[in-house]
Amino acid sequence: MRQKISLGITLLILILLVSACDRVGRAPEDLDVTPTITPTATLTPSPTPSAAEEASTETSATGDLQGQLDVILAQVPDTVPAGAVQWRRDSAAGVQVPGNIVNGVGGKVFFTEQIGGKSNITYAIFDSAADAKTHFDKMFGIREPVAVGNPNANFPTPNMFGSGLYGSYALMQVQEIYFIEVYVEAFSSTSGNPLIPLAQQALNFLNAGITKFASPDTKPQQIEAIVAALPDEITAGETVWTRRVTRDPEILEEIPDGRGVKVLYQTEDADLFLTFAVFDTTEAMSAYYNSRQAARREGTLTYEVAGGSEDEDLPAPNLFASSQLVAAGALLQASETALVDIEMTSEGSAYDLKPVAEQAVLILETGLANFTAPQ
C-alpha to C-alpha distance for 119 and 137, rounded to whole angstroms: 22
Q: Are 174 and 143 in contact (CB under 8 A)?
A: no
To the question of pTM greater than 0.85 for the whole model, the response is no
Q: Are 324 and 348 in contact (CB under 8 A)?
A: yes
Element (H, E) at 79: strand 79-82
Which pLDDT belongs to residue 164?
83
Number of residues in the chain: 375
Residue 258 is classified by DSSP as: E
Least confident of 28-37, 130-139, 220-229, 239-248: 28-37
| Alpha-carbon Rg for the chain in angstroms | 40
Q: Which residue has the higher pLDDT, 45 or 360?
A: 360
Which pLDDT belongs to residue 56?
33
The alpha carbon torsion through 102, 109, 182, 283 (nearest 10 deg) reads: -110
b/e map of 316-355 (b: 16 or more CB within 10 Å)? eeeeeeeeeebebbebbebbebbbbbbbbbbbeeebebee
Element (H, E) at 70: helix 51-74
Q: What band does 8 get if pLDDT is binned at 50, 70 and 90?
A: low
Which pLDDT belongs to residue 303?
66
Q: What band does 146 get if pLDDT is binned at 50, 70 and 90?
A: confident
- 121-136 pLDDT per residue, tens: 999 999 999 999 999 9
Which three-class secondary structure state does DSSP give residue 288?
helix
Q: Which residue has the higher pLDDT, 110 or 13?
A: 110
- 191-201 pLDDT per residue, tens: 678 899 999 99
For residue 272, pLDDT beyond 80: yes
